[in-house]
Amino acid sequence: MTNIVMNVLVLVALTAVSWPVLRRMRGWPLLWASVHVCLLTMVFDTLMIDVGLYEYATDKILGVYVWGAPLEDFAYAIAAAVFVPVLWVLLGRSPRTSSRARAAAAAPATPSGLDDEVAG
């Protein structure tokens, strides 16, 4: 199996699993983040390949390069830019980790009759 086939399968599976959250999210911020992360991937993957940190098996990649970075590397950048916010939404709903729940718990509770006595 080539890297591009594996990348497409993983992206499709991640999209299917996270679709209920993805369809409620705004598209422009995800697209904007994806573009920026892909630009960073293009620059830094090219540098890492040029200095010899890693190399790819030529039979596993398409051979299409974007400024020195193989096309397959951009699937990881897209997955991170799209699915980290999905995880943020999913994991942020817990009352234990929610900042709103902590703020409500930290607010001083007033007995219901106390406000009436002070006002009257």
Retrieve residue 35's tokens: 């573009």
pLDDT in tens, 21-50: 999 999 899 999 999 999 999 999 999 999
HSE-CB of 104 using CA atoms within 13 angstroms? 7
Q: Is the pLDDT of residue 103 over 80?
A: no
Please report, rounded to a whole number, the percentage of residues in the chain having pLDDT higher than 90.
58
The DSSP line for 41-95 is HHHHHHHHHHTTS----TTTS---EETTEETTHHHHHHHHHHHHHHHHHHHTT-T
- Cβ 49 vs Cβ 55: under 8 Å: yes
Most confident of 28-37, 57-66, 104-113: 28-37
